Structure 1
Amino acid sequence: MLLTVLGCSGSIPGPGAAASGYLLEAGGFTLALEFGNGVLSRFQEERPLFSMDALVLSHLHPDHCIDVSSLYVARKYHPSPPSEVLPVFAPAEAHSRFVAGYAPDAAERASLDFGDVFAFHPLADGAAVRIGPFTVEPALVAHPCEAYGFRISCGGVSLAYTGDSGPCEALETVSAGVDVLLSEASWTHAPERQPDLHLSGRQAGELAARAGAGRLLITHVPPWTSREAVLKEAQSAFDGPCELVVEGGRYEVGEQA
């Protein structure tokens, strides 16, 4: 399983940096995970425009999904559009969310149907789905909206992705024993941090240690947070391989990691 980082800036795109977006590839199948600000541009730098086979969204905050609107335009109005709709696995309100975000007035919203471009499949807590060669296990996590973390398995290897979440039991479940933990860490540790929102670097490291993860990859660090301070915290709590992901980075999941 190959992980490619399209964007990893937390909460907003940073200077010259896209927000959350990743690719997982195995057996000739390309699964896009998140599609935030700037990710469609980065995707086209990495792969042909219509080469993704499915899209998974952890939640519907803009930094994780807003470029779906642009992807709709590309797949709808390109002179040579793809012949098949794109499967999108997302929270239940995804369809209405994207229609409302795209259409400027009620009349257009009433006539607009993203269903001619996307096939929406609502996620459910604990309900595993098979997407190409991948098994994706969603778990509701601690965030202000409907939001999921994922355990993604393929060919005997596994990756856990926290999405956006504060510490919660669901993260313990999806990350137990994984080869790679791709964890957000949006700030350094402090007692006044808002609960049920994000992880600190220390909390990400502690999660990886409890999980027995083979490797910790830190992502979703906002432009106003010190990446080095977050990494130092994570490394202080987890003695396994640990690094900050970078835009354009490629990471093997499994024995080659």
Structure 2
Amino acid sequence: MRVTVLGGCGAWPAAGEACSGYLVEEDGFRVLLDIGYATLPRLLQHVAAADVDAVLVTHGHPDHCADLNPLLRARVLGDSPVAPLPVHAPPGALDAVLALDGPRMLAGGFVAHDLMPGVPCEIGPFRLDVFDLPHHVPDAGLRLTGGSGRVLAYTGDTGPSPDLLSLARDADLYLAEATYPEQVPEEDAPYLSTASDAGRTAASAGAARLVLTHLWPDTPPEPALAAAAASYDGELSVAAPGVTVDLG
């Protein structure tokens, strides 16, 4: 399993950056976890739009799904016909982004599937387990287990939840939202997380590697890394565009 970071900014893309988007590959199968602002141009540096096999979207905020529209345009308006793209998301999460074009524009370009917490499914070579996590809108924590047995756990955006331990349990890579280093503003505390939170969860769950993502734009990574390292002593980094993690 190989994971390539397309972007990791929260809220909006800073200069030269992109929002949440991660290309996951195993046995020639390519799945996108989120496809936020400015991720499509970075994706196209690695694979053609027609070569994406599935898209998983954690929730409907545009910094996690806005570039689904140009990805679908690139597929349906390209020179060669491609099969409809399976797109998995919480019910109703993609209504707004799919409505950017009229129904005829993207007709036949995708097949929508609802992500259902507690109902495992198979997507290519991956087993997918979905967790219902607290955010301003419904958010799906995603746990992908490859045929190799390697595990990627991704939070999307989430506030505190006991389900995070199950999501991250013994993961080879825990990709965790860490919008703030140590403290979330009071009004958002139920819905967002810190690097400190991510570090504690990774340590308690026995995750082999922790990658912090969704940092507030234009903030330095060092405070987040220090906050997570206070409780987590495993391999630790911040999601940076172009970085590839090979999980074997």
Shorter-normalised TM range: over 0.9
Alignment CA distance shift 1:204-1:79 (3 Å): same
Alignment CA distance shift 1:14-1:156 (3 Å): same
**1:88 matched to which residue of 2?**
87
Question: Is there any run of 5+ residues in structure 2 with no aligned partner, and where?
Answer: none
Q: Secondary structure at the match of 2:49?
A: coil
* 1:149 and 2:141 are equivalent in the alignment: yes
Aligned counterpart for 2:192 among listed residues 176, 198, 201: 198
**1:180 matched to which residue of 2?**
173
Question: Contact conserved, 1:137 with 1:150, CA < 8 A, in 2?
Answer: yes
Alignment CA distance shift 1:44-1:113 (3 Å): closer
The residue correspondences of 1:60-99 to structure 2 (distance < 5 A) are 60-82=60-82, 84-94=83-93, 96-99=95-98
Code of the aligned partner of 2:173: V
The residue correspondences of 1:1-257 to structure 2 (distance < 5 A) are 1-82=1-82, 84-94=83-93, 96-100=95-99, 102-103=100-101, 108=102, 111-112=103-104, 114-154=106-146, 155-190=148-183, 192-193=185-186, 194-254=188-248
Question: Contact conserved, 1:2 with 1:25, CA < 8 A, in 2?
Answer: yes
CA distance in 2, matches of 1:49, 1:113: 17
Code of the aligned partner of 1:175: A
Q: Secondary structure at the match of 2:112?
A: strand
Code of the aligned partner of 1:41: P
Question: Contact conserved, 1:187 with 1:225, CA < 8 A, in 2?
Answer: no
User: 1:78-113: CA deviations, max 9, x gaps?
Assistant: 22232x10001111114532333x14xxxx4xx547
Query: Considering only aligned residues, what root-mean-square deviation do their CA atoms show, in Å?
Result: 1.6
Code of the aligned partner of 1:241: E
* Identical-pair percentage: 35
CA distance in 2, matches of 1:71, 1:169: 35
User: 1:188-241: CA deviations, max 9, x gaps?
Assistant: 213744222211111110010110111111111121433210111001110111
CA distance in 2, matches of 1:26, 1:78: 25
Question: Contact conserved, 1:180 with 1:217, CA < 8 A, in 2?
Answer: yes
Q: How many residues align?
A: 246
TM-score, normalization: structure 2? 0.94
User: 1:18-73: CA deviations, max 9, x gaps?
Assistant: 11110111111111111111111111111122111111000010000001111122
Q: Secondary structure at the match of 1:209?
A: helix
Alignment CA distance shift 1:191-1:17 (3 Å): closer
TM-score, normalization: structure 1? 0.91
Code of the aligned partner of 1:88: V
Alignment CA distance shift 1:64-1:95 (3 Å): closer
